[in-house]
A and B are shown apart, each in its own frame.
Chain A
Amino acid sequence: MVNLDPQLTNEKVWELLNQIPDPDIPVISITELGIVRHVEQGDGDKWIVTITPSYSGCPAMSVFREDIKTVLMEHGAKEVELKISHSPAWTTDWLSESTREKMRQHGIAPPETNSSQNVELFADSKRKISCPHCSSQSTHRTSQFGSTPCKALWYCDSCQQPFEYFKCY
């Protein structure tokens, strides 16, 4: 297959997608978040992007879908097909250490445990999350649910600052 737009290669598509920010955490891109699972070229200038939804009710998902289409169309794609893959389910285990560091610098504590260790009963009272501002471990949870589906509210007893914790998922 001859690529009519020499600039749009598989690598270039990934690069473009990596510039689309997560609307809730703009320092992180949707590829860093692990939403984009696969990219392939169909017939002609059609591109097929496979994504895995993060949180079920996350309103940001519809924003991603539009953004992916817009960005690729602007760069020469004639058609963009979005495929949704539900299995394996998205997990915060896919976040790289550099992505976690970006979150910290943005004032959000990244998920600290492996998702398989998520316990549902009688948990959390002993868990300590490090404050993204001062790294202190004397913090406590103020609410399991926060401003977006992915975040919980925590408070640092050392620097007296509230902060958000990206939930382990």
Chain B
Amino acid sequence: MNTKEALYNFCLRLADNNIVLGQRLAEWCSRGPILEEDLAMTNISLDLFGEAESMYEYATTLVNNNSTADHLAFLRSEREYFNNLLVEQPNGDFAQTMMKQVLFSAFAKHLYEALCNSNDETLKGLAAKALKETKYHLRHSSEWIIRFGNGTEESMRRTQFALNELWRFTDDMFVMNEVDEELISMGISFNLNDIQAKWKFTISEIFAEANLQMPEATNIIKGGSKGIHTEHLGHLLCEMQYLQRAHPGATW
């Protein structure tokens, strides 16, 4: 795999994470527990869609096949999506949605921080921008988790349950393959084991503040960066891609 191919694949991985999580958050639109929270989740969703769009656009400049950001988003099947398994998981209740957000945002924050030192100028700029937004997402979701952990018995129970349920998908974010090998050797991306250590430190701090117990690592599932997904991604893409599949090339 040459550098361009690796970078293309890596951009898809970043963009796919953002668009899939953005799509999940958009499912909350008009269903938020309170108006401010409805706005918050759709705002975060919008940030993620925007980040995905610029990463897809960059990816299209790396290959010569006339594809556009829209092709990448709406015309690839689930086996061609490289997002992490965590982001495709269903929303569950509000505690699960915020738990998914905090686990992902902490990962994204450390990854983007590292990518701010990338040798690839465009990736560096995109990461610097996404980092600013990710910090707001992390702050927002961590505040909820801490509030729930210190709230009622019920809120505590649901939050701990959410953490236990989602934990098995977190290792998947740090799996490296030949894409990472190539990009690390070129100074474009970085070792995900180092990101994992920083991520663990950040979420431990939040969970300590929230009085949550770190779960046992059981039933670990991986495969996202190879295009092997849980059953949920296909259903999500069905809905997200419906219009372009049913009416190819439709614009408005």
By a beta-carbon cutoff of 8 Å, the part of chain A in contact with chain B is 53, 55-58, 85-91, 115, 118-124, 142-147, 149, 153, 167, 169
A58: B residues at CB distance < 8 A: 50
Q: Judging by beta carbons under 8 Å apart, are B48 and A57 in contact?
A: yes
Q: Is residue B205 contacting chain A, with contact meaning CB distance below 8 A?
A: yes
A147 CB, min distance to chain B CBs, angstroms: 8
Once the chains are docked, how many angstroms separate the CA of A120 from the CA of B121? 25
Once the chains are docked, how many angstroms separate the CA of A145 from the CA of B50? 16
The 29 listed contacts between A and B (C-beta, < 8 Å) are A55-B50, A56-B48, A56-B50, A56-B54, A56-B129, A56-B133, A57-B53, A86-B129, A87-B125, A87-B128, A89-B129, A90-B129, A118-B132, A119-B139, A120-B135, A120-B136, A120-B139, A121-B139, A121-B206, A122-B142, A122-B209, A123-B139, A142-B36, A144-B139, A145-B43, A145-B44, A146-B43, A149-B50, A167-B136
Choose from B51, B129, B140, B205 the contact partner of A144 (Cβ within 8 Å).
B140
Among B122-172, those with CB < 8 Å from A are 122, 124-126, 128-130, 132-133, 135-136, 138-140, 142
Once the chains are docked, how many angstroms separate the CA of A143 from the CA of B142? 14
> How many cross-chain pairs have Cβ atoms below 8 Å apart between A and B?
89
Once the chains are docked, how many angstroms separate the CA of A122 from the CA of B36? 20
B136: A residues at CB distance < 8 A: 120, 144-145, 167
Q: Judging by beta carbons under 8 Å apart, are B125 and A121 in contact?
A: no
Among B77-136, those with CB < 8 Å from A are 109, 121-122, 124-126, 128-130, 132-133, 135-136
Query: Which DSSP category, helix, strand, loop or mixed, fits chain B's interface?
Result: helix
Q: Judging by beta carbons under 8 Å apart, are B124 and A149 in contact?
A: no
Closest to B205 in A: A121
Choose from B40, B51, B126, B206 the contact partner of A145 (Cβ within 8 Å).
B40
Given A120-B136, A145-B136, 12 extra CB contacts under 8 A: A55-B47, A57-B51, A86-B54, A86-B125, A87-B125, A119-B135, A121-B206, A144-B139, A145-B36, A149-B47, A153-B36, A169-B132
Q: Judging by beta carbons under 8 Å apart, are A89 and B36 in contact?
A: no
Q: Judging by beta carbons under 8 Å apart, are B130 and A56 in contact?
A: yes
Q: Judging by beta carbons under 8 Å apart, are A120 and B50 in contact?
A: no
Closest to A124 in B: B139
Q: Is residue B10 contacting chain A, with contact meaning CB distance below 8 A?
A: no
Q: Judging by beta carbons under 8 Å apart, are A87 and B124 in contact?
A: yes
Choose from A57, A90, A120, A142 the contact partner of B109 (Cβ within 8 Å).
A120
B1 CB, min distance to chain A CBs, angstroms: 24
Q: Judging by beta carbons under 8 Å apart, are B130 and A87 in contact?
A: no
Q: Judging by beta carbons under 8 Å apart, are B128 and A145 in contact?
A: no
B133: A residues at CB distance < 8 A: 55-56
